[in-house]
Amino acid sequence: MGQRASESINVNATPEALFAVVVDFPAYPSWVADLKQVTVLSHDENGAAQDVEFRAAAFGRSSTYTLRYDYSAAPNAISWSQVASDLTTKLDGRYRFEADGAGTKVTYELDVDLMVPLPGFVKNRAASRIMTQALRELKTRAERGA
């Protein structure tokens, strides 16, 4: 069974600016610490990246996974589902962007399950670490003007 989690952060940027940072996949390795390489494999009918392959440092080793992106709620949200992975059986998620005064409340929702069975508290800790780091890195990138 997957581990579902959600975390939010306030960012001094517009929802549109945050969305633009999130969909600039080729730039990820320059601001996401654990990502080593990102390759856009396919685009949708509007030219947006649809299937994106990531190579990341995870649990002390290199991991590769491919996500399929859904832009149907853009620019207020972007969601993804796992297409392939060598470490997880599920890696589905969503960023939601809600204008909040001068900034934006960003909520990261994640549903993840590893191929290797682990106790729930270990999965909780891993999901929390992933989300906290991702939100902090997104905040830093967006607030410095990408």
pLDDT range class, residue 14, cuts 50, 70, 90: very high
Residue 20: both structure tokens together: 């633009």
Domain boundaries, the chain: 3-143
The phi and psi torsions of 119 (rounded to 5 degrees) equal: -60, 150
| pLDDT the model gives residue 128 | 72
- pLDDT at position 88: 87
Q: What is the model's pLDDT at position 54? A: 97
pLDDT per position as a tens digit, 41-52:
999 999 999 999
Q: Give the alpha-carbon dihedral of 22, 138, 120, 115, to 10 degrees.
A: 40
CATH class of 3-143: alpha beta
Q: Give bridge partners of residue 96 from the DSSP assignment.
A: 77, 107
pLDDT in tens, 71-116: 999 999 999 999 999 988 999 999 999 999 889 999 999 998 877 7
What's the average model confidence in pLDDT over 132-145?
91
Structure tokens at 83: 């297409």
Residue 1 pLDDT > 60? no
102-106 contact pairs (CB < 8 A, 24+): 102/12, 103/10, 103/11, 103/12, 103/13, 104/10, 104/11, 104/13, 104/14, 104/15, 104/18, 105/8, 105/9, 105/10, 105/11, 106/8, 106/9, 106/10, 106/11, 106/18, 106/135, 106/138, 106/139
pLDDT band at 2 (very low <50, low <70, confident <90, very high): low
Model pTM above 0.85: yes
More confident: 68 or 101? 68
- Check: CB of residue 34 under 8 Å from CB of residue 56: yes
Cis peptide before 15 (omega within 30 of 0): no
pLDDT grade for 59, boundaries at 50, 70 and 90: low
